[in-house]
Structure 1
């Protein structure tokens, strides 16, 4: 169950990162509120997952999945660069997250 909570927390990073992008430096009210509320929920879920998971593994997976998801969303939805180097680095993040999950058992 802790892993599912952690994955949900990481997925929420996509929501708050996108909302804060739309908030335009906190100049737009609703995207700002959405980003801050969802970021808080994401951290709360991370905290719940930490009850049963090692902190190093959980935090690295949370950040890694969030970073991968936000970068992928930037490529797909916002037209950011999809260079071979960038895609290769994203693949390394995924490999690291999978490796941490396998090492944790």
Structure 2
């Protein structure tokens, strides 16, 4: 269950990054409110998962899920370039996340 909570925490990280972008420097009220709510939920879920997973692994997976999700969101919604190098780099992050999960289960 801790892994599921950690992944959800990472997805909330993607959400707060989205709302940070759409808040336009906190000049837009509702995206700003949504940013703080999703940030709070993301941190809370990360904190809970730290009670059950190694700190370094949990933090790296949380930031990895957030980085991958935010990069994909940038490509899909904000027209950021989807170059082969960028996609390959995202794939390397995913491999790193999978490796950390495996190392925690196997170790």
TM-score range (shorter-chain normalised) is over 0.9
Give how far 1:81 is off. Answer: 0.6
* 1:72 and 2:59 are equivalent in the alignment: no
1:49 corresponds to: 49
TM norm structure 2: 0.96
Q: How much is the aligned-residue C-alpha RMSD, in angstroms?
A: 0.6
- The runs of 5 or more residues in structure 2 that have no matched partner are none
* 1:100 and 2:100 are equivalent in the alignment: yes
Q: Distance in 2 between matches of 1:66 and 1:14?
A: 5
Give how far 1:78 is off. Answer: 1.2
How does 1:84-95 map onto structure 2 within 5 Å?
84-95=84-95
Q: Distance in 2 between matches of 1:15 and 1:59?
A: 17
Look up the SS of the partner of 1:52 in the other structure: coil
Look up the SS of the partner of 1:81 in the other structure: coil
Give how far 1:49 is off. Answer: 0.4
